[in-house]
Chain A
């Protein structure tokens, strides 16, 4: 006969084991398909790994990248994309969510559906449509601007417009999920808070700043982190629309990784680029958690 203490201990142990057994499949996949490639990528970044070579070069790949104009330009473009796209996605999503969350259920669903459509559509299909919109010779955008007396613009071929044209496509594909989440979060804000503020004669700006925005912080944190990471990793849109051109003006670190690894077969250099990108994303995410996470209550 086991003592009650031992029985409890056994129960706890069995409970613990069962929990980890249930976690095992997911953990196994994570270790095999995420953690292992990540560690292998770091390892490869210290090698000159091409189609027929694999020799240790220490930090040479990193040293090369810090002096490579194309990489520096790609990093600059990547940061620019994040700095422009993320605030616009957040602001636009909050605006749309604020506009529709008090509407009837039918209308709310309609708008959510419309804005979420790009999120469930193939990026390739969307990008192909945008390519025809931006077409310098027969695109609808130039057709519209011609009514204002403007000469045709090569939206994707002009260094002054190409990156912004990419950012616009990125924004259209990024706003779907934030809008859904903001609408849900706004619905969870107790009406009594807002009514109390209205009784105290708070205007709508004050209500937004003092009540709605702070209450949206958990959602904000998630959306900002996810949108930042997605913006850092934008690839398909660039590959399909500009191939990083013109003159590397739309090249990003992710596109550079693809080009170095799969076009040139230089896996060492590509891995080093990937590691640097991961470091940048990691640091920025930590900063975001530090500054935005402090007010979050779960």
Chain B
């Protein structure tokens, strides 16, 4: 029996292996056929652009950039698509909503397995990284001169690589702090906040006084938030420390870290001490940006350090306590003007080697950003300001008016630096080291600078 079995077992296993290899290689063939056909697709696409009736199907992956309609995530996007299809009935748009938590990972997998979506609405941090890796289609042909001149240089800088536009900027808002104004009203200390100043700028000392007042007069409220659990929301900790220490995060040509100054180190040391003194939330090394904002929305925190007009709009339904929140810029050591990193949202197209799809995706971007009826409506649904300077007055709210004013404080963020994705992985562990007393502020910032500079050099060399 063994004699019978052995050859059969061997034969069976071999045939299974052959089947498997065949399946895999047929998959590869499928891919290469796909590539081949996509190689031929430009011809088809040319045909498609000549004969617009040719149906095209595109996939749009979207983070929850729009506030949910009737509490349903993705419902507003479906309305956009329905309106778009009235103008372009031959372009079928498949929408897939992704989350801020798992979406980036899902995108990385999709890209590495050649199944990236055609269209994405995201921010420069990821989009510019993809552009540098030559994964995106340039959008210059759809940017009109009017649009080009209507958007600030700082925002274009975040949307371009090597002189080509890869992200179509749509909505923006400066990242800043927010304060629970009601806490200060109840304490009778509203005068400690810079709300009577038109640009609301204030100094580090004034901020410290405000924190102390909360500690002394509102025992149930934690004066301020800080977080270092993960990289999410790191623009908040960057903005906080760079302004308290009047420093830049990276130097002006993004070639090296610039935050390891004595002043920024002193600011970080102060944060560590403030945590011990109860002026800053306990356990910040294990808190995420969302944890801190949750505390703020529950009315348990007087100041949160990662907020914007967009976040304020998105958090409306998450508010667990009745209070008035007001946007504030980060205080600066010397009272100089703050430097605020902007939130910038925009759309990009993955170069899936199909010109027809790229052309269709551009039409959808143009519709979302510039349609006379839907363009403005879409902006309001994001809760953000327009990336275009000429489109203002979208909201009646005082904080939006302030956000528009605060655009003058917008600075160039590090998100477009070479190796940014790696740089940010070194930031929060060094903050943790400082917060846990394993390093001084200077040691932590120097260690971050060393690793981040190496990442920048490595990324530059890989180009």
Contact = CB atoms under 8 A, between A and B. Distances in A.
B286 A137 contact: no
B286 A156 contact: yes
Chain A: interface secondary structure? loop
B98 interface: no
Contacts of A213: none
A51 B133 contact: yes
Interface in A1-40: 9, 12-13, 16, 20, 27-28, 31-32, 35-36
Contacts of A9: 4
A12 B3 CA distance: 12
Interface stretch (B177-185, B200-208, B266-274, B431-439): B431-439
A47 B429 CA distance: 28
A263 B432 contact: no
Contact of B4 (A13, A264, A265): A13
B24 interface: yes
A49 B433 CA distance: 31
Contacts of A36: 20, 24
B134 A52 contact: yes
Contacts of B258: none
Contact of B432 (A245, A264, A265): A245
Contact of A137 (B5, B135, B222): B222
Nearest to B1: A12
Interface string B267-285: 0000000000000011111
Contacts of B17: 31
A41 interface: no
A118 interface: no
B428 A264 contact: no
B323 interface: no
A32 B23 contact: yes
B192 interface: no
A136 B130 contact: no
A16 to B, nearest CB: 6
A267 B112 contact: yes
Nearest to A259: B425
A157 B283 contact: yes
A247 B438 contact: yes
A247 B436 contact: yes
B108 interface: yes
B120 interface: no
A275 interface: no
Interface string A244-255: 011110000000
A152 interface: yes
A259 B400 CA distance: 37
A162 B286 contact: yes
A262 interface: yes
Contacts of B284: 157
Contact of A159 (B16, B282, B300, B436): B436
Contacts of A136: 281-283, 286-287
B401 interface: no
Contacts of B222: 137
B376 interface: no
Interface in B1-22: 1, 4-5, 8, 12, 16-17, 20
Interface in A42-78: 49-53
Contacts of A137: 222, 281-283, 295, 300
Contacts of A162: 286
Nearest to A160: B436
B20 A245 contact: no
B105 interface: yes
A31 B16 contact: yes
Given A16-B4, A157-B436, A51 B108 contact: yes
B283 A154 contact: yes
Contacts of A242: 229, 286
A12 B108 CA distance: 51
A155 B283 CA distance: 8
Contacts of B135: 51-52
A154 B300 contact: no
Given A13-B4, A136-B282, A158 B436 contact: yes
A242 B287 CA distance: 8
A262 B108 contact: yes
Nearest to A36: B20
Contacts of A27: 16
A123 B399 CA distance: 40
A138 interface: yes
A78 to B, nearest CB: 18
B53 interface: no
Contacts of A233: none
A53 B282 CA distance: 43
A243 interface: yes
A245 B286 contact: yes
A51 B281 contact: no
Interface in A264-284: 264-265, 267
Interface string B225-240: 0001110000000000
A157 B133 contact: no
B146 to A, nearest CB: 34
B34 interface: no
Nearest to A35: B20
Interface in B412-435: 421-422, 425, 428-429, 432-433, 435
Given A157-B283, A157-B286, A263 B425 contact: yes
A247 B447 CA distance: 13
Interface in B210-249: 222, 228-230
Contact of B112 (A51, A156, A157): A51
Contacts of B436: 157-159, 246-247
Nearest to A52: B133
B285 to A, nearest CB: 4
Contacts of B1: 12
A152 B283 CA distance: 9
Most A-side CB within 10 Å, residue of B104, B421, B436: B436
B111 interface: yes
A157 B23 contact: no
A49 B112 CA distance: 9
Interface in B278-325: 281-288, 295, 300
Leading 9 A-B pairs by shortest Cβ distance: A136-B283, A157-B286, A154-B283, A262-B105, A52-B133, A157-B285, A156-B286, A243-B230, A246-B432
Given A36-B24, A158-B436, A262-B108, 18 more contacts: A16-B8, A20-B12, A50-B112, A50-B133, A51-B111, A51-B130, A136-B283, A154-B285, A157-B229, A157-B283, A157-B286, A157-B435, A242-B286, A245-B229, A245-B286, A246-B286, A262-B109, A263-B108
29 contacts: A16-B5, A16-B8, A27-B16, A31-B17, A32-B23, A35-B20, A51-B130, A52-B133, A154-B282, A155-B286, A157-B283, A157-B286, A157-B436, A158-B283, A159-B436, A162-B286, A242-B286, A245-B229, A245-B285, A245-B286, A245-B432, A246-B429, A246-B436, A247-B432, A247-B433, A258-B105, A263-B421, A263-B425, A265-B112
